Structures are given as structure tokens and as C-alpha cells.
Structure 1
Amino acid sequence: MEHDFWISKWHNNEIAFHEAQGNPYLMKHHDFLSSTDSPRVFVPLCGKTRDIYYLISQGYDVVAAELSELAITQLFDELGEQPDVTQDGEHKRYHIPGLTVFVGDIFALTAKQVGDISGVYDRAALIALPDTMRIRYTKQLMALTGKARQLLICVDYDQSVIPGPPFAVSESTVRSLYDGDYVIARQESEEIDGGLKGKAPANNEVYYLTPR
């Protein structure tokens, strides 16, 4: 992962990718993650997303991973919570009831650290990674979560117009990465008004990934 790139984004407050109001597709589709009476959802590369607030408010126990410690201190500040912070292997572990965040490299995280997971919410991870890193990422995500079901939200557009991030994720890309392990169902494909960054036509895409 390009650590320095993302760390600099947070330190320079270049976080246009951050959705201040949370993601409307999560609010519409979160029930897909409620596969058990006590759902425990993993959020990879979470930043300080307000989607975490929403998941907690809906009764989910949230486990998340993020490279930038600045993002996580801001997350807990905005939650108005003082987390318990401990060292857990190569990661710092921030914890309050209902939320655990591991700060550090997601590729160094282990399934033992994460614990049992019933679902994955990926809105910011796959689109943040170039093609060269996606196979490694998806294999790690499945290893961490025991191939838990996923709510995947991504964006598709002509990558030759804008270099990214966010990087384009087509349906064929999703299938090439996950088809061997999941039944993939595209739930929505909605045109982004004004395109991506006003430069390229683009669609928001919502997928349900159910373990085979």
C-alpha cells in the first residue's frame, strides 16, 4: 500500500473522498449485513467515515482498520468518545463498546486480532487501490473475515479520463476478484450527477456478495 500517499492526504486535509453525511447506499442496503442476531461488521480502510456512526446506531458491532492514526483520532473526537488505546502487535487498537479500530497496515492484520466477523462493508477500500494491489487486498480481506458476506459500494468510469483515486471498479473487475468465492449480485447502478469530479461520466455501483 502507498502508505506515504494516504498519510499525506490526511495530514494535508485532502479528504474530498470523505462523505460528511455518510453514505446513502449504506442506509438503504445495510440490512444485507444483518445476517445474524448480533452482527459484527468489518470496515476496511475506514478513515473517519460517518458510516461507522450509522452502523453503530443500527445495532452493529463494528471492527475497522485504517492506516492513518490522525483519521482515527478525529473519528473518536467527532464521536465525543475517549477510547482505550493499546498496542496489539504491529497495530494500535482503539476501542470503545461497539467499536474497535486497528491502526496500521491492513496487510499485517490477522484474523485472530479481528475476531469473528459476520459481514464486510467496503465503500472506501477497493476503490482506493490500483489494479496491482487488488488481488492481494481481496485475498487478505477474505482471510481476515472468513469470507463473510460483503456490501460493496464502488464507482465505475473511464479510468483513462481520470487517473484516480478513486479508481474505477467495473462489474467485470468485481467478478474477476470474487466470483470464485461469492455469488455476486449487482443491486444498483446509478449515474453520478455531474460525473466524477466534473470530468468523467460515472456510476455508483452497489453489490451484494454472498459466500458460495
Structure 2
Amino acid sequence: MDPQFWMLKWQNNETGFHEPEANPNLTANIDQLSLAPGSRIFVPLCGKTLDIPWLLSKGYEVVAAELSHLAIIQLFDQLNIIPDSEKLNGVTRYDVPNFTLFGGDIFDLTADMLGKVDAIYDRAALVALPFEMRVRYAAHLREITNTAPQLLVTFDYDQQKLDGPPFSVISNEVEQHYIDHYSLTLLQGKEINLKGKVPAQENVWLLK
């Protein structure tokens, strides 16, 4: 799956993955990260998620990454603010008070560019990638965040019944990516009907 796949999704307004409010997995479980006020939270592959203004409203600083320029425009339109921007080695950095967004390929993002990260909220990044890219992504995420603790959302379903994304990421795969670097806790598992097409379990993981 190359970047063009997601660019076309946004261009064609095929954004059914976008939610009309902050994700309940975030609002119900953010305290599990035991973050101090003003902590800096990284949201990879953020789209135009309303999770970001929710985090900002709770007093957190947010840093995010997104490939689609259209998603970035719509996100800042929602925030009703025009960011400052600068080019950094193929990635564009956008800044507004308490929020920094890196526009471009997340694999071009470095630890020095990203800066300090106190926690990661991954609702839509790991599950957006096919397996080979998930292996690379998980390693890259650990590297650029210095293995910051994570709140991770995954789906477990019969992949043969529905093409991703979101892709099925079973518990054993979560362990494969992260068990050598984190203590893993399954905070909750909920039965859902994914895209209205296939039964699935939505899992929320705490990685510390």
C-alpha cells in the first residue's frame, strides 16, 4: 500500500473512518497513561480527527503526523486557525499554540524533528497499514518516540471477509511488535460490526 492510496481516499472524500466526535476509547482510557498536565501526546496518521481538539481541551500538548494535505487543511479549518509552517527535509511542520503537525510520510519523520513525546495515542495508524508496513512502522514509532507509552486501538476479525483498512491485528501480532519493549495490558475488548459488514472485536491496549 503506497501513499497514493491514502491521497486518493481523501481526494475522493472516502473518509468513512473519520468520526464526528472524540473517540470513546480515548476519552474513557486516557487516564490509564497517568500523564501529568501539559504532557505531549503523539497522534500518528491523524487525519482530521476530533481527538486532537479534545486532547487540547484537556490541557495536553499534541504533536501529530499526517500524509494527506487535504486532511491537514480540513483539520486546521476545524480548529479555525491558520498555522505557521516550514519545510524540513521533505516534511512540512505546521505550528499553532500547543499543537504541531508534521505533514508528509511518517517514515521521513525523525526523533530530532519530533521532539520529546510523553505518550502515543494510536487509534488509526497501526491498523491502517498492511502487515509488512506494520512491522516497519512499529519499529520506527519506537525509535522516534524513545519507546513512549501508548494507548493503542486494534481490530480482530476474519480478514478474508473484509479487505482492510482497517486491517485485522490480532493479539499475537501486537505482542510480536511490542512485547520486547513494553508491558502490554488489554484494557478492554468490545464486540462491534466493522463497517456494518463483519463481526469484529475492537481492542484497547495499554503499552507501558
The C-alpha deviation readout for 1:70-98, integer Å capped at 9, x for no partner, is 10111000111111111122111111011
Cα root mean square deviation, aligned: 1.0
AA aligned to 1:173 is E
Match in the other structure for 2:125: 125
CA distance in 1, matches of 2:167, 2:113: 29
Match in the other structure for 2:163: 163
Unaligned runs of 5+ in 2: none
Q: Measure how far apart 1:181 and its partner are.
A: 0.3
CA distance in 2, matches of 1:116, 1:108: 17
CA distance in 2, matches of 1:186, 1:33: 13
Match in the other structure for 1:144: 144
SS at match of 2:15: coil
Query: Within 5 Å, which residues of 2 pair with 1:101-112?
Result: 101-112=101-112
Match in the other structure for 2:204: 206
Q: State which drifts further: 24-33 or 6-15.
A: 24-33
Q: Contact 2:126/2:134 (CA < 8 Å) preserved in 1? A: yes
Match in the other structure for 1:8: 8
CA distance in 1, matches of 2:138, 2:68: 20
Q: Measure how far apart 1:22 and its partner are.
A: 1.9
Q: Measure how far apart 1:198 and its partner are.
A: 2.4
The C-alpha deviation readout for 1:39-79, integer Å capped at 9, x for no partner, is 10111000000000111111110000000011011100011
Structure 1 runs (4+) deviating above 4 angstroms are none
SS at match of 1:201: strand
Q: Measure how far apart 1:34 and its partner are.
A: 4.0
Match in the other structure for 2:20: 20
Q: State which drifts further: 94-103 or 198-207.
A: 198-207
> Does 2:62 match 1:62?
yes
AA aligned to 2:188 is E
Q: Contact 2:42/2:64 (CA < 8 Å) preserved in 1? A: yes
Q: Contact 1:33/1:120 (CA < 8 Å) preserved in 2? A: no
AA aligned to 2:41 is V
Q: Measure how far apart 1:36 and its partner are.
A: 3.2
Unaligned runs of 5+ in 1: none
SS at match of 2:175: helix
Match in the other structure for 2:98: 98
Match in the other structure for 1:184: 184
AA aligned to 1:169 is V
Match in the other structure for 1:85: 85
Q: Contact 2:155/2:202 (CA < 8 Å) preserved in 1? A: yes
The C-alpha deviation readout for 1:139-184, integer Å capped at 9, x for no partner, is 1000110000000012111111101111011111100110000000
Sequence identity (%): 50
Corresponding pairs, count: 208
Per the normalisation by structure 1, the TM-score is 0.95
Q: Contact 1:127/1:165 (CA < 8 Å) preserved in 2? A: yes
